Structure 1
C-alpha cells in the first residue's frame, strides 16, 4: 500500500512534493536554454498542469522526464511562433507600396492639412457640434444634451458645417 502511494502521481501530497523538488530545476533548464524568464515560468507551470491533468497515465518515476519534455516542446513551439511573427513583421510594411507613390502621399498630406484648416475656419458652435458627431461618434441627442440645446439646433449646426466644408473642398480641387 505504501509503495502504491509513493508511485501515485495523482496523490496531492506526492505531486506537491514532486513539484517542490522539480519546479525550480525545470524553470532554470528552460531559462538557461532559451534565455526568457517569463517564458520559462509559463512553460514550467504549463508542464506541471499537464502532468496533473494526466497524472493517472504518468507514474511518478516517469514524471520528471515527462515535465522536461513538455516544457522543452513548449519552448520549441514558442520559438517557432516567434520566428513566424518576426518574419511577418519583416515583410509587412503596413501600406500597399505598389499603389502609392511619393507624389500621391504628398498630395494626400496637403489635402488633409487643408481639410483641417477648413474645420478650424468653422465658427465655434458648428465646429464643436461637427467634431462631437464625426470624431467622437456621438448621436445628435447626446450632443444636444451635452451642449444644452435642442436636437434641431444640433442638426442645423452640423448641416451648416457640412455646407461650409463642401465650399472649402470645392475650392481645394
Structure 2
C-alpha cells in the first residue's frame, strides 16, 4: 500500500471508524485511540483491503481492538475494586450498594443488544433527539423508538432488584 493510498483510506474512513467505536463505548477518547490504532495496524502490517471491503475490514479491526481494550480495563477495574474493598472494609453500606448498582448497570449495558445500546447511548450520552438518531443511523424514527423501548426494558429487567428497595 502506498502512502498516497493509505492517506486516501485514512481520510475516507477515519471519522466512520471513530464514530463506530464511540457508539459502542460512549467515550470519545477511547474512540479516538482505537481509530488511530486501527490505521496504525493497517499501515504496519501493510494490509491491502479489497475494494468495497475496506470499511468492513476497518470495522472488524476496530471491534477487535475495542473488545481487547475493554477486557483489559474490566480486569484492571476488578483488581482495583478488590484492592479498594480490602483497604476500606469499613466503607459505608451505601457506598458498596452504589458500586454494586454501577457494576450491575455496566453489565446490563454490556449485555444489551448492540443496536439498542447504540440508540440508548446516543440518546442519553449525546443527548440527541430521536429524529437526529434516526438520521445518523439511517433508520426511521419508529425504529429508534423501538430500540429505545427495548433498551429501557432491558435495563428495567436487569435493575429490577434495586427498584424494589
Q: Calculate the TM-score normalised by the size of structure 1.
A: 0.45
Q: Which structure is higher in RCO with an 8 Å CA cutoff and minimum separation 6? A: 2
